[in-house]
Amino acid sequence: MRYRRMHRIGLVFLCAAAFVLASCTTVSLEQRKRQSESLRDLGEAYLVEGKTTMALMELIKAEKLYDKDPLLQNDLGLTYMDKDRLDLAITHFKKAVELKQDWPNALNNLSTAYLKIGQWDLAIAHLERLSQDLLYATPHYAFLNLGWAYYNKADYGKAEKYYRDTLQHYEDGFPKDGTYLKALVGLGRTFMETGKIQLSVTYLERAIRFAPNLAEIHMILAQAHTRAGDNAKARLSYKMVLALVPETQLAEKARLAMEKLK
């Protein structure tokens, strides 16, 4: 009898101990999550300030506490991308997507990283998912990146389509910004590659009216004028490059190109 009583007491004690241990584990996990979120917030603040090394230090600490936070994985991806470690950026963006499937921000960031390393097909696969997402609030970003990806694949028909889709976003009344400018230049480049030089000049001139002090666009316009056989206008565009960014590599390229026109 005494043995059975002690056995029952032992079982009760073991069950109670297991319950306490499980409770402690749960509390510990919640604490780690909260601590990880605090470190993540600090890392994000450093990232916004451009202090990428300090951001990375805090984000790594946060990941050691709790690594299943998609926001944290996305932040790590952005930080590594700022440090030009695209291999690590892609790893963390993938984790963010795995933890929060169909999250537009992480998908867009992952595709951007693929674009930076020239993995056009992988980028396109994610971007086309985004472009078809009716709930995605900023599809023009996906359209612009698709235009760039297809341009680099020399699929100029699709590049033109997606650059035009990007511009349509602004024609619907949204304020014009850098994405609008990139779409104009993208169309200008695309039409130059397909021999539609006058259309190329038209879009590049629109781009210059929007951003008159960007030497890179004047350089591209000069190349379009050269292909059109209008050397006088090409010289004017090259001179603008020299005036805007003197004593730079781009200015030296413009100077050499002008000499070839003589």
50 is a domain residue: yes
Q: Please state, in angstroms and rounded to a whole number, the distance separating the CA atoms of residues 210 and 221.
A: 14
Which residues of the chain register pLDDT less than 50? 2-24
- Cα separation, 132 vs 129, whole angstroms: 5
Q: What is the pLDDT of residue 247?
A: 94
Number of domains observed in the structure of the chain = 1
The answer as to whether 72 is a domain residue is yes
Q: Which of 216, 140, 218, 228 is nearest to 191 (CA)?
A: 228
Q: Is residue 106 part of a domain?
A: no
Q: What is the pLDDT of residue 121?
A: 97
Q: According to the model, what pLDDT value does residue 45 have?
A: 96
C-alpha 178: how far from chain center: 14
- We report the CATH number of the domain holding residue 44 as 1.25.40.10
**What's residue 20's pLDDT?**
41
In a domain, 8, yes or no: yes
Separation between Cα atoms, residue 49 and residue 55, nearest integer Å: 9
Does the residue 6 lie in any domain? Answer: yes
The predicted pLDDT at position 134 comes to 65
Residue 256 belongs to a domain: no
Structure tokens at 208: 């210059």
CB 201 within 8 A of CB 190: no
3-state secondary structure string across the chain: CHHHHHHHHHHHHHHHHHHHHHHHHHHHHHHHHHHHHHHHHHHHHHHHCCCHHHHHHHHHHHHHHCCCCHHHHHHHHHHHHHCCCHHHHHHHHHHHHHHCCCCHHHHHHHHHHHHHCCCHHHHHHHHHHHHCCCCCCCHHHHHHHHHHHHHHCCCHHHHHHHHHHHHHHHHCCCCCCHHHHHHHHHHHHHHHHCCCHHHHHHHHHHHHHHCCCCHHHHHHHHHHHHHCCCHHHHHHHHHHHHHHCCCCHHHHHHHHHHHHHC
Q: What is the pTM of this model?
A: 0.81
Q: What is the pLDDT of residue 25?
A: 52
Residue 66 confidence (pLDDT): 96
Q: How far apart are CA 129 and CA 41, in angstroms?
A: 29
Assigned domain for 29 exists: yes
Domain that holds residue 28: 1-101
Report yes or no on 84 lying in a domain.
Answer: yes
